[in-house]
Structure 1
């Protein structure tokens, strides 16, 4: 099951994020793919809000990593757009993140290829008319189970 969801506007993108946040496994790695302006950061912010993050949710465009405490551990939001090579991931302390993070939201994951944990879920966002299209694809067995649970849930 690799669903595609049409998102009419930012509200629909946020609703998708809430639905995914509520159906996610206890530990999850999510790759967010798409061109600039595709809605990756909108999706990530809404996801983090649904998990209880309060206060500013900053884009990690310049810091590369933002960390957020959650009741179930920690969420990390990475934006790898500015990486020149995957080897630069070594400076981000991913070993520590792997031990502490229950949720990884990774924008521009292709720039960290080989240095990231495997994704449970890959979400590819693309402009479609005045809205967006989100294609969801499982990357692991846990991701397949997640999408099966997600698909069985009402909107």
Structure 2
């Protein structure tokens, strides 16, 4: 099957029910998206599919053919971080950083639809992204800053 990830086309020889997360991590060596709960509830594995943040651990790779997939690796352009990535650094919104790629992807999805979200809109949009280190205030500040 053919998928487009970070503006590059890839041909994969995997079963249709392979998770997008496994396709990315194991077959394409794009390891920025993390395996967390395996049930689509924690947000660590999120990627953008046609601009929408989606849990890749429960998304069959066959369902994303002819769609645009952006991973955390695809946000940086020409050596420059995406504004959301930079804001996370500026606001020290990382501790262990395991959740960070999913948080950033979700924030990019939000900011694409709503460039100036309110604090409450950020909180609502980030539901389904869990940070075990509990740096939520810094994460929210980073998203608003971006």
TM-score, normalised on structure 1?
0.25
More strand by share: 1
